[in-house]
């Protein structure tokens, strides 16, 4: 029992730290992202509302030391997130937003010391989200792969879960994709060849998340499969690339800079109609990156900072029931 109490104390400390820094976290992310995307050109803005949060009930008996997390939408150059309302019950004695290490992501963190038998606790936030479409650049010949990778970009060159950088099969795929690309091709043309290969190689079939090597082997997968294959191929060619996790969709971005070393992340569409270096559909963006770490799973590297809940039954009680909410309206 001592170890359980210690673990619960640790989780409560995590929660308190999240509440302490919640005030300016999203503003900092928005500022940093905007500074790194000075070349971005945006199209139409689409507005939507997103209700995100967690409901916990103790229908099986009283529960204590409940700790839950759920991702929330992020501010980034193409998206502005404004909190409109919150629904927090009295049983929730700690909640806040924390940054997630390993990319651009945030989570709502909830702490419920005790929930009596039959009671329900809620921590639900309603956001107004304004997301812009991304227009393709007018000129691309001057865009190059960065010669000197910045510190915060190095994570987008290495391996991560499902992204098999420098794997023999990925190297073979890169070679095949670039076989007919001329030696004097621009960086844009070379990366577009990688994109065309990944998009055309994978037959769209709904399914579970798979690795880039599995995608090549099966030649089937959904938007996630196309995205991880493209990212793995880019990184194998020393091109910064990363996953983008939107509401009910995944796509990817690659990074280039101009002659003044101003950089930009360019998106690629991973399902439906091809779109390279642009994003004609505005979707709610939840996270950017694919190598996250969270305090609750210190030894794991996560493609996506997922939902999480832990709670301890009281004597005679049972496990809590949880419902995660992600509702667009």
Distance CA 54, CA 97 (A): 14
Distance CA 243, CA 222 (A): 14
Distance CA 44, CA 39 (A): 17
Per-residue tens of pLDDT for the chain, all 329 residues: 333 334 444 444 444 444 434 434 443 434 344 444 458 899 999 999 999 999 999 999 999 999 999 999 999 999 999 999 999 999 999 999 999 999 999 999 999 999 999 999 999 999 999 999 999 999 999 999 999 888 888 999 999 999 999 999 999 999 999 999 999 999 999 999 999 999 999 999 999 999 999 999 999 999 999 999 999 999 999 999 999 999 999 999 999 999 999 999 999 999 999 999 999 999 999 999 999 999 999 899 999 999 999 999 999 888 899 999 999 99
């Amino acid at each position: 029992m001592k170890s359980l109490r210690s673990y619960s104390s640790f989780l409560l400390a995590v929660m308190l730290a999240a509440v302490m820094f919640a005030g300016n976290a999203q503003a900092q992310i928005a500022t940093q992202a905007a500074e790194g995307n000075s070349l971005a050109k945006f199209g139409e803005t689409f507005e939507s509302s997103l209700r995100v949060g967690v409901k916990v009930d103790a229908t099986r008996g009283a529960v204590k030391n409940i700790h839950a997390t759920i991702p929330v939408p992020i501010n980034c150059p193409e998206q502005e997130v404004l909190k409109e309302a919150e629904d927090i019950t009295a049983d929730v004695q700690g909640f806040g937003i924390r940054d997630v290490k390993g990319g651009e992501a945030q989570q709502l963190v909830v702490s419920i010391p005790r929930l009596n038998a039959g009671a329900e606790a809620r921590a639900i936030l309603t956001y107004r989200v304004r997301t812009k479409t991304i227009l393709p650049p007018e000129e691309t010949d001057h865009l190059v792969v960065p010669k000197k990778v910045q510190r915060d970009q190095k994570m987008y060159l290495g391996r991560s879960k499902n992204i098999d950088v420098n794997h023999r099969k990925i190297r073979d795929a890169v070679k095949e994709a670039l076989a007919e690309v001329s030696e004097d091709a621009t960086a844009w043309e070379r990366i577009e060849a990688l994109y065309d290969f990944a998009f055309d190689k994978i037959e769209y079939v709904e399914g579970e998340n798979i690795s880039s090597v599995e995608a090549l082997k099966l030649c089937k997968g959904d938007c996630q499969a196309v995205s991880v294959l493209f990212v793995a191929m880019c990184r194998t060619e020393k091109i910064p690339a990363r996953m983008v996790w939107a509401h009910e969709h995944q796509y990817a971005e690659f990074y280039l800079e101009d002659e003044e070393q101003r950089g930009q992340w360019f998106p690629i569409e991973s399902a439906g109609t091809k779109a390279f270096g642009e994003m004609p559909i505005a979707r709610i963006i939840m996270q950017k990156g694919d190598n996250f770490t969270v305090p609750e799973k210190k030894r794991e590297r996560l493609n996506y900072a997922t939902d999480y809940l832990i709670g301890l039954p009281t004597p005679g009680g049972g496990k809590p029931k949880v419902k995660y909410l992600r509702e667009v309206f």
